[in-house]
Copies of this chain bind each other. A is one copy, B any other.
């Protein structure tokens, strides 16, 4: 029987090494003087001195971009995928009050496509650099027969730090106001639905269905918005009790994650009109009532919990910080999340 080398088996170690050296410059550009390793080390090394913190707490989170990769492939533009996962991880660590320190990426596919790999990882490096995050390491895997040919997965891991006294959630109680902060689009959730809609011809990624100012494809690829800067600034200016990052499972899944026992939430769906991108998808899928609010952010990427009397000030501060914000609901005694607002639907 014929000889079978490792390359015959679908894994080209040399091609991979060449690809990795191609991104080394972008990776190194994120390194600060706290990073002690070179790109390509077995592990990244980051100095853990946190002067000024009495009781530093490391906050670690990981996420994937889901099937947004497939939309990137349909559009032929992978540059935002790296920023997506960095933004997603930044926000998840921020929920605990943490500011990010370093990030690692995981890229896997059946066969590595150099152009796609570089676009994704360089996008991640750029997003890291913009937030002072070291892209400390990563893993790149070639897994024939596990991934569908031409597809890839991209996941990220982020570690941040917060002084224990500044951790969120804190002092959350019934009566607190909920302030919504606008998303940049779907962020990284709901893309399996988008792909099915595209498969069956219910949406056309190449045109503007109305109100997007760009093609549907590019609107869908808008990177996941990171809320680090405005939330760090807001915390300096007024008390914040908690924030919730509206990701998979939307309000019902994510708000309770920051609420103590005995506290529920009411989200007023009449308080905002979902942006055109969401209205178009909801219509194309034939969804109605609260259905889309159960798995899409519908235009609200973050919910900020503040004392009731500070709700309008929080809105004003966030707007001054460049965010679109509005009072989206309130906390009540009880449990779970009620979506209220009379006739709910696509307005």
Contacts and interface: CB of A to CB of B under 8 A. Distances in A.
Interface of A: 1-6, 8-11, 13, 17, 36-37, 40-50, 55-64, 66-67, 69-70, 92-93, 95-96, 98, 101-102, 104-106, 108, 136-139, 141-148, 151-153, 155, 157, 159-161, 164, 167, 190, 192-193, 195-197, 200, 202, 245, 248-249, 253-254, 257-258, 285-287, 291, 294-295
A253 B43 CA distance: 15
A45 B59 CA distance: 5
A263 to B, nearest CB: 15
A193 B106 CA distance: 22
B10 A60 contact: no
A146 B148 contact: yes
A3 B287 contact: yes
A45 B193 contact: no
B42 A60 contact: no
Contact of A285 (B5, B60, B101): B5
Given A253-B13, A285-B3, A46 B62 contact: no
B44 A61 contact: yes
A249 B13 contact: yes
Given A146-B69, A153-B108, A159-B58, A6 B43 contact: no
A136 to B, nearest CB: 5
Contacts of A295: 6, 11, 13
A105 to B, nearest CB: 8
Contacts of A144: 67, 192, 195
A49 B45 contact: no
